[in-house]
C-alpha cells in the first residue's frame, strides 16, 4: 500500500485567516466532535502563540546582543587608538620590546605584541597610560610599582659603578634605567628614580649572606599642593592650586565631582605637565 501522507516540512504554516476559518467550521460540527476538535484546536493555538513569543524574544535578544557587540567593538577600537597614540607619543607599547624614540621609529606591530602587551591590557581595564615608560620587571612594564605607595617589594638589584668605583646607577629586576639620586648609607641604602621621571624609591641592598634579595619601596611625597573645593548653587567644583615660577598661584580646574576623582585628575595633570614630580606630591583639601 502506498503511503499518500504529505510530509509536514512540505506544508506551509496556516495564516491567521485560515485559522479563524477553522474556528468557524468547528462550530458547525456535531457537539461530540466539536468538543474534542475544539480542544485540539485550542492546543494548536497555544502552541502557535508560544512560538510567536519565542521568535519575538530571539529577535529582541539578537538586537540587544548586536548592540552590545557593536559597543564592545567600538571600545576596542578606542582602546587600540589610545594604545597606538601612547606608542607614538611616548615610545613604548608594553610588550617587552625595547623602547623606541617617540615620533621617530614606529616599530612593526605583530599580533604577539597586542596579546602580550601589559599596556594594552591596562587600557582595556579603563586605566590611563602613563606619559612616560614605567620601570620594567624582567622586560615587562611595572605599573604597580609606580602606583603603589605603601608596598615594599623584594627585588634582585645591584649598584652600577664607574671606573673609579663611584655609584652611578642601579639595575633593578633586570631594568638598567634606574638613576642614582642619593646615597643614604654607603654601599647599603640609596634613593633612585627611573629615568629621572616619576616617584623616588628607596633601594636597600642586602648582602647575599644576610638575605638573597634587596628591597624597594616608594618614598613619601616631597611636596604638598592644595585642592580647593568650591560650592555654588548646590554644585561642587575642585581646583588645583599650583605655584608659578614668576610668583603667584595658578588655579587648574579639575573635572571632578568627588574628592577621590579630584585627586586622580590632579595627579594626571601633574603627570602630563610635570612628570618629574609625579608620585611626589601630596594633596591637601582646602575650602
Does 240 lie in the same domain as 203? no
Q: 16 lies in a domain?
A: no
Pairing verdict, β 136-137 and 281-286: unpaired
pLDDT above 70 for 2 = no
Residue 75 to residue 84: CA distance in whole angstroms: 14
Three-state secondary structure of the chain: CCCCCCCHHHCCCCCHHHHHHHHHHHHCCCHHHHHHHHHHHHHHHHHHHHHHHHHHHHHHHHHHHHHHHHHHHHHHHHHHHHHHHHHHHCCCCCCCCCCCCCCCCCCCCCHHHHHHCHHHHHHHCCCCCCCCCCCEECCEECHHHHHCCCCEEEECEEEEECCCCCEEEEEECCEEEEEEEEEEECCCEEEEEECCCCCEEEEECCCCCCCCCEEEEECCCCEEEEEEEEEECCEEEEEEEEECCCCCEEEEEECCCCHHHHHHHHHHHHHHHCHHHCCCEEEEEEC
Q: 271 lies in a domain?
A: yes
Q: Which of 196, 218, 240 corresponds to the end of one domain?
A: 218
Domain region containing 176: 150-218
Q: 200 lies in a domain?
A: yes
If one compares 2 and 158, the residue with the highest pLDDT of the two is: 158
Residue 48 to residue 55: CA distance in whole angstroms: 11
Does 205 lie in the same domain as 158? yes
Position 191 scores a pLDDT of 95
Residue 170 bridge partners (DSSP): 159, 178
Position 10 scores a pLDDT of 54
Tell me the whole-structure pTM to 2 decimals. 0.59
Does 160 lie in the same domain as 186? yes
Q: 75 lies in a domain?
A: no
Does 184 lie in the same domain as 240? no
Does 212 lie in the same domain as 157? yes
- Are 265 and 253 in contact, with CB atoms under 8 Å apart? no
Q: 141 lies in a domain?
A: no
Q: Which of 218, 234, 260 corresponds to the end of one domain?
A: 218
- Are 133 and 141 in contact, with CB atoms under 8 Å apart? yes
The pLDDT tens digits of the residues spanning 240-281 come to: 999 988 888 999 998 888 888 888 888 888 888 887 788 889
State the average pLDDT over residues 76-85.
76
pLDDT band at 8 (very low <50, low <70, confident <90, very high): very low
pLDDT above 60 for 96 = no
Q: 206 lies in a domain?
A: yes
Q: Which of 218, 240, 260 corresponds to the end of one domain?
A: 218
- Number of folded domains in the chain? 2
pLDDT above 80 for 154 = yes
Please provide the average confidence, as pLDDT, over all residues in the chain: 78
Q: 210 lies in a domain?
A: yes
Q: 197 lies in a domain?
A: yes
Amino acid at each position: 500500500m502506498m503511503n499518500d501522507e504529505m510530509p509536514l516540512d512540505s506544508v506551509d504554516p496556516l495564516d491567521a485567516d485560515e485559522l479563524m476559518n477553522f474556528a468557524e467550521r468547528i462550530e458547525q460540527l456535531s457537539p461530540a466532535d466539536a468538543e474534542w476538535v475544539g480542544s485540539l484546536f485550542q492546543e494548536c493555538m497555544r502552541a502557535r502563540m508560544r512560538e510567536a513569543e519565542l521568535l519575538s524574544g530571539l529577535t529582541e535578544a539578537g538586537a540587544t546582543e548586536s548592540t552590545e557587540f557593536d559597543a564592545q567593538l567600538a571600545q576596542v577600537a578606542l582602546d587600540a587608538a589610545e594604545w597606538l597614540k601612547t606608542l607614538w607619543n611616548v615610545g613604548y607599547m608594553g610588550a617587552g620590546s625595547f623602547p623606541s624614540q617617540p615620533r621617530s621609529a614606529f616599530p612593526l606591530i605583530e599580533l604577539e605584541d597586542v596579546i602580550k602587551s601589559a599596556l594594552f591590557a591596562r587600557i582595556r581595564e579603563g586605566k590611563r597610560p602613563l606619559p612616560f615608560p614605567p620601570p620594567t620587571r624582567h622586560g615587562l612594564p611595572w605599573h604597580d610599582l609606580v602606583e603603589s605607595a605603601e608596598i615594599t617589594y623584594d627585588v634582585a638589584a645591584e649598584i652600577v659603578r664607574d671606573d673609579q668605583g663611584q655609584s652611578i646607577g642601579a639595575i633593578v629586576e633586570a631594568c638598567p634605567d634606574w638613576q642614582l639620586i642619593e646615597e643614604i648609607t654607603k654601599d647599603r641604602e640609596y634613593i633612585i628614580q627611573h629615568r629621572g621621571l616619576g616617584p623616588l624609591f628607596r633601594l636597600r641592598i642586602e648582602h647575599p649572606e644576610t638575605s638573597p634579595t634587596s628591597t624597594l619601596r616608594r618614598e613619601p611625597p616631597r611636596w604638598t599642593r592644595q585642592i580647593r573645593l568650591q560650592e555654588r548653587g548646590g554644585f561642587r567644583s575642585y581646583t588645583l592650586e599650583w605655584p608659578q615660577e614668576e610668583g603667584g598661584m595658578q588655579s587648574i580646574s579639575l573635572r571632578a565631582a568627588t574628592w577621590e576623582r579630584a585627586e586622580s585628575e590632579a595627579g594626571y595633570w601633574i603627570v602630563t605637565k610635570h612628570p618629574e614630580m609625579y608620585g611626589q606630591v601630596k594633596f591637601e583639601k582646602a575650602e
